[in-house]
Amino acid sequence: MRQAHAALLLVFVSFAGLPVGCDVPSGAGRGIADGGHAGAPTAADGARPVTSSTAAPVAPVSPRTVEERALLRVVSKQAPLGAAYVPAELVGLPEPAVSPGLGTLQLTRPASEALLAMQVAARAAGLDVRVQSAYRSFEVQQQVHGALAARLGEPEASRRSAPPGYSEHQLGTVVDLTTASVGWGLNARFAATAEGLWLAANAPTFGFALSYPEGAEAVTGYVYEPWHLRFIGSSRAAEWQRSGVTLVEYLGRVGGASPEPSLSAPLPRRGRGE
C-alpha cells in the first residue's frame, strides 16, 4: 500500500498535463493527463443510459441487509461517507489484476470476486483489462484531492476529484480500469478501446455500473469517466442499465435516499464515435 500511496503523490509533483476525471488514481500517473474529455469517442451502448422509450420504472425498495445497504449507498457531493467509514472485509487484489508497477490495491471481497471473474471473461475475449485504482481511505483521498486542488484550484478540482469523505472509492467497491493501449492510464480514449467497448457491453453482467457517464455532469457533479465502475451486484446492475437514469439517481430510488437533482428525462443514447 505504501508503494501505491507514494506513487500517487508523485503524480501531482511530476506530470505536466491536466488530469481528466473526478477521482484521480492512487497509482502511477501514466496517462491520466491525456487531455480533455469533451468530444471523446463514446463507449458501446451498454455503458449509456437507455432511451426513454425503453426505460424501465424503478420502484423504491429498501435494502434489507447491511451488505446491501453498503452496496447501494448513495455517495455524492450531497451525501458523504465521512472520515470514519471503512468497508468490511477488504482483500488485496492479485498482481495480474493490477496495472504494471503499482503496489497492493484492495476491494471488498464481493467486489474483488466479481472483478476477477470479469477479467477472466475479458481475457477469454483476447482483452487485457487491469485496475489502476481501487479502495482509497479518507486519508488517501485527502492527499489526492488536496494535491489536485493546489494545482488546479478548488472549483476545477471539484469537477474531477471528490473531496475526502465524498469519494465512491472509499466504499471499496469501485475500480478505475485501464489497458495497455492508453498507457495504463486514465483518459477518455479508454471508451473507444476494445477493452472499453467490451466493458460497456458486459460490465453490468458482472455487477458493475458506470458512475459518471458522458454529458451528465449536471446530475453527477463530475466529468465523464469511462473507466470508473462501481460494483452493485448483477441483478441491481441489470436493473440500473434498464432504468435509463444515472447511477446516483438509481441508487437514490432503490435505496430510499434522496437522489441527486436529476434531468427531466433519461440521457439520450448515442452511437459509437459521437
Return phi, psi of residue 171, to 5°: -70, -25
Instruction: Label residues 190-203 b or e (16+ Cβ within 10 Å = b).
Output: bbbbebbbbbbebb
Q: Is the CB of residue 105 less than 8 Å from the CB of residue 171?
A: no
Rounded to whole angstroms, the Cα distance separating 237 from 199 reads 13
What the block records as the C-alpha cell of 250 is 438509481
Rounded to whole angstroms, the Cα distance separating 65 from 71 reads 10
Q: Is the CB of residue 143 less than 8 Å from the CB of residue 8?
A: yes
**Catalytic residue selected from 195, 214, 225, 260:** 225
Rounded to whole angstroms, the Cα distance separating 11 from 54 reads 42
Contacting residues for 84 by C-beta, under 8 A, at least 6 apart: 138
User: In 10 A of CB 120, how many CB atoms?
Assistant: 10
225 classed as catalytic:
yes
Rounded to whole angstroms, the Cα distance separating 162 from 33 reads 17
Residues carrying an active site annotation: 225
